[in-house]
C-alpha cells in the first residue's frame, strides 16, 4: 500500500463509483442547459478581498473556513469557497452585463472550505451552480428554482423538499433590524455572538447552538416586515411555483449562510442525510454586483452539492448495481485469436469515427475473461469477432442488459448499432 493518501476531508470519485458522480453532475448540468444557461469556467483561486467583500466578513465561510495563502508575488489568494462571487467578478471584468440580459450562466467544479470533515461535509467538495444576472423579476426566481427541481427529478430523487422565504429589500431589512436588535438586548449573549450580530443580525438565525436556536424561535421574523413591493414579489414567486407543480414550504427562520442574499431565498433538504440535510440552495443577491464595482444589476442563482446529491441518491437506493448511473460505452468488441485483434482494433477506430463509443478487450484474455471485461465496462452491446466471423462477414450482437442476441453483418455494424441506440432513446 502506498504511503501517500488523499488529504483528509477530500471526496474522491473513481470507477465504478465515479459513474454515480458523473450521472448526477450531468443531469444537473443538462437541466441548466435546457433553460438556456451557458457554461462559464472559473479559476479555483481568486483575490482574497473578492470573497471578503462578496461573501461577507460576518459569515463562518470568511471568518473561519477559507483556505487563504500568500503567493510568490506577495498577493493574498484564496481557494474559492463558493461560486457566485467569482462569476460576478468575471461578468464585470469581461463586460458580459453590457449585452443581452439576463446573463444566464452555469458552472461546475471543486470548492474548498476548511471545515471539520463528516458525512456529507468535505474540505474539497463539488457543486453545479447557475446565475441569472440582470432581471429583477419573479419569473426568473421561479425559473432558477425550477432548474434545480428538474435536475433532482431527472436523477430520480423523491424524498426531498423545497424551503423558501424572502429576505426582503433594504427597507424591509432596515425596519426588521431595529426590532431585532431590541430583541437581542433581552438576551444573555456572549461577546463574540453579540459582535457577530452587530455585523449582520440575521446571522443568529443560522446559529446551530441549541440555546441560540431556542432564543431565535421567538425573534421578530423578517417576513412580517416585508415592504409592499417585496411582499408582492414573493407572493408572485409562490404563485408561479404552484403553477409549475413544484411544492414548497415557507420557512421564515431560513437565512442561508452567506451575507449577499436578498429577496427570494431557498434551500432543498433531503430527509435521508441526517444533520447535513441540505443538498442545494440559493437566492437573490441584489446589490452584489455594485458592491464588487460593477453595474447595479440584480441577480439570483443556486449552488447544488454534487457530493450531497450522490449521497441522497444512494440513500434512496437509486444506484442498484449502478444500472441507473451506467455510463459505459455503446459497444464492446472481443477478438478471438491473435489474427483477429488488428481487424477488431481497426473496426473499433471506425466506430469511434462514426460517433459510437466503443472499446475492446486488450491483452491475451480468454473468451470468458473478455466477456467479464465487457460486462464491467458498462457496455450496452458486445460483439465477438474471430476468424469465422471475419470470413463470413457476420457476427452475433449481444444486448448486455437483456441477454438477447441477433445476427448482423459486420459491414453494417455501425448503422445497426446506431439504429438500435436511436430506437432505445425514443422509447425512453
Whether the pLDDT of residue 322 is over 60: the answer is no
- Residue 288's nearest CA partner among 36, 83, 2 is 83
pLDDT per residue as tens digits for the range 262-301:
899 999 999 888 777 899 999 999 989 999 999 999 999 9
Q: Are 249 and 163 in contact (CB under 8 A)?
A: yes
Handedness of CA 42, 47, 50, 51 (dihedral sign): positive
pLDDT per residue as tens digits for the range 58-96:
677 887 889 999 999 999 999 999 999 999 999 999 999
Whether the pLDDT of residue 240 is over 60: the answer is yes
Which helix (DSSP H) or strand (DSSP E) does residue 184 occupy? helix 170-184
Least confident of 139-143, 292-296, 364-368: 364-368
Q: Are 260 and 231 in contact (CB under 8 A)?
A: no
- Residue 256's nearest CA partner among 282, 289, 231, 288 is 282
- All three cell numbers of 28: 444537473
Q: Are 145 and 241 in contact (CB under 8 A)?
A: yes
What percent of the chain shows pLDDT beyond 90? 63
- All three cell numbers of 334: 472481443
Whether the pLDDT of residue 398 is over 50: the answer is yes
Which helix (DSSP H) or strand (DSSP E) does residue 299 occupy? strand 299-305
pLDDT on residue 33? 97
Q: Are 328 and 298 in contact (CB under 8 A)?
A: no
pLDDT on residue 325? 45
Residues 147, 361: Cα–Cα separation, whole Å:
40
**Got the DSSP string for 45-68?**
EEEHHHHHHHH-TTSHIIIII--E
Which helix (DSSP H) or strand (DSSP E) does residue 381 occupy? strand 381-385
**Average pLDDT in the 391-414 region?**
93
Whether the pLDDT of residue 203 is over 80: the answer is no
If you average pLDDT over each of 16-20, 27-31, 118-122, which comes out highest? 27-31
Chain centroid offset of residue 167 CA: 24
pLDDT on residue 351? 94
Which helix (DSSP H) or strand (DSSP E) does residue 166 occupy? strand 160-166
Whether the pLDDT of residue 2 is over 80: the answer is no
Confidence of residue 363 (pLDDT cuts 50, 70, 90): confident
Q: Are 388 and 400 in contact (CB under 8 A)?
A: no
Residues 397, 405: Cα–Cα separation, whole Å:
6
C-alpha distances in Å from residue 211, one per residue of 182, 187, 192, 195, 298: 18, 11, 15, 17, 36
Handedness of CA 125, 130, 133, 136 (dihedral sign): negative
**Average pLDDT in the 353-361 region?**
92
Q: Judge if the upstream peptide bond of residue 314 is cis by omega within 30 degrees of 0.
A: no
Confidence of residue 324 (pLDDT cuts 50, 70, 90): very low
pLDDT on residue 258? 63
Whether the pLDDT of residue 47 is over 80: the answer is yes
Specify the 3-state DSSP secondary structure of 161: strand
Chain centroid offset of residue 388 CA: 50
Sorted by sequence, the CB contacts under 8 Å of residue 413 that are 6+ apart come out as 331, 347, 351, 383, 395, 397
Residues 166, 248: Cα–Cα separation, whole Å:
13
pLDDT on residue 327? 54
Q: Judge if the upstream peptide bond of residue 224 is cis by omega within 30 degrees of 0.
A: no
Rounded to two decimals, what is the model's pTM? 0.86
Whether the pLDDT of residue 323 is over 60: the answer is no
Residues 406, 411: Cα–Cα separation, whole Å:
15
Confidence of residue 197 (pLDDT cuts 50, 70, 90): confident
C-alpha distances in Å from residue 178, one per residue of 168, 195, 200: 15, 16, 12
Residue given cell 463558493 in the structure block: 82
Q: What are phi and psi of 253, to 5 degrees?
A: -95, -5
pLDDT on residue 321? 55
First to last CA, the chain: 44
Query: Which domains are seen in the chain, by residue range?
Result: 18-169+227-320 (3.30.930.10), 331-427 (3.40.50.800)
Whether the pLDDT of residue 108 is over 80: the answer is yes
pLDDT on residue 426? 74
Q: Are 304 and 151 in contact (CB under 8 A)?
A: yes
Q: For all residues of the chain together, what is the average pLDDT?
A: 90
Amino acid at each position: 500500500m502506498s504511503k501517500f493518501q488523499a488529504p483528509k476531508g477530500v471526496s474522491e470519485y473513481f470507477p465504478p463509483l465515479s459513474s454515480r458522480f458523473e450521472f448526477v453532475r450531468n443531469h444537473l448540468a443538462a437541466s441548466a442547459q435546457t433553460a438556456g444557461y451557458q457554461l462559464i469556467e472559473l479559476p479555483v483561486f481568486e483575490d482574497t478581498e473578492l470573497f471578503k467583500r462578496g461573501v461577507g466578513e460576518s459569515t463562518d465561510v470568511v471568518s473561519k473556513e477559507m483556505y487563504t495563502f500568500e503567493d510568490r508575488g506577495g498577493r493574498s489568494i484564496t481557494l474559492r469557497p463558493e461560486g457566485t462571487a467569482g462569476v460576478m467578478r468575471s461578468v464585470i471584468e469581461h463586460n458580459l452585463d453590457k449585452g443581452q440580459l439576463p446573463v444566464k450562466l452555469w458552472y461546475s467544479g471543486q470548492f474548498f472550505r476548511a471545515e471539520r470533515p463528516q458525512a456529507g461535509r468535505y474540505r474539497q467538495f463539488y457543486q453545479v451552480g447557475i446565475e441569472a444576472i440582470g432581471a429583477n423579476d419573479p419569473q426568473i426566481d421561479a425559473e432558477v428554482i425550477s432548474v434545480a427541481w428538474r435536475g433532482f427529478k431527472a436523477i430520480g430523487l423523491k424524498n426531498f423538499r423545497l424551503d423558501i422565504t424572502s429576505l426582503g429589500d433594504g427597507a424591509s431589512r432596515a425596519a426588521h433590524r431595529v426590532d431585532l436588535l431590541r430583541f437581542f438586548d433581552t438576551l444573555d449573549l456572549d461577546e463574540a455572538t453579540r459582535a457577530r450580530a452587530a455585523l449582520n443580525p440575521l446571522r443568529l438565525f443560522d446559529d446551530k447552538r441549541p440555546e441560540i436556536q431556542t432564543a431565535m424561535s421567538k425573534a421578530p421574523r423578517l417576513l412580517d416586515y416585508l415592504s409592499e413591493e417585496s411582499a408582492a414579489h414573493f407572493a408572485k414567486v409562490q404563485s408561479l411555483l404552484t403553477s409549475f407543480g413544484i411544492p414548497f414550504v415557507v420557512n421564515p427562520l431560513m437565512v442561508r449562510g452567506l451575507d449577499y442574499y436578498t429577496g427570494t431565498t431557498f434551500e432543498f433538504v433531503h430527509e435521508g442525510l441526517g444533520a447535513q440535510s441540505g443538498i442545494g440552495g440559493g437566492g437573490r443577491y441584489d446589490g452584489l454586483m455594485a458592491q464588487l464595482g460593477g453595474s447595479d444589476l440584480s441577480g439570483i442563482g443556486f449552488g447544488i452539492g454534487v457530493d450531497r446529491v450522490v449521497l441522497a441518491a444512494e440513500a434512496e437506493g437509486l444506484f442498484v448495481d449502478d444500472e441507473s448511473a451506467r455510463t459505459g460505452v455503446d459497444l464492446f468488441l472481443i477478438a478471438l485469436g491473435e489474427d483477429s485483434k488488428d481487424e477488431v482494433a481497426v473496426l473499433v477506430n471506425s466506430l469511434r469515427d462514426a460517433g459510437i463509443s466503443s472499446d475492446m478487450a486488450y491483452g491475451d484474455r480468454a473468451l470468458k475473461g473478455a466477456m467479464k471485461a465487457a460486462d464491467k465496462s458498462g457496455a450496452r452491446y458486445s460483439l465477438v469477432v474471430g476468424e469465422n466471423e471475419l470470413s463470413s462477414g457476420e457476427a452475433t450482437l449481444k444486448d448486455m442488459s437483456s441477454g438477447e442476441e441477433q445476427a448482423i453483418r459486420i459491414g453494417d455494424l455501425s448503422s445497426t448499432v446506431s439504429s438500435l441506440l436511436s430506437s432505445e432513446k425514443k422509447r425512453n
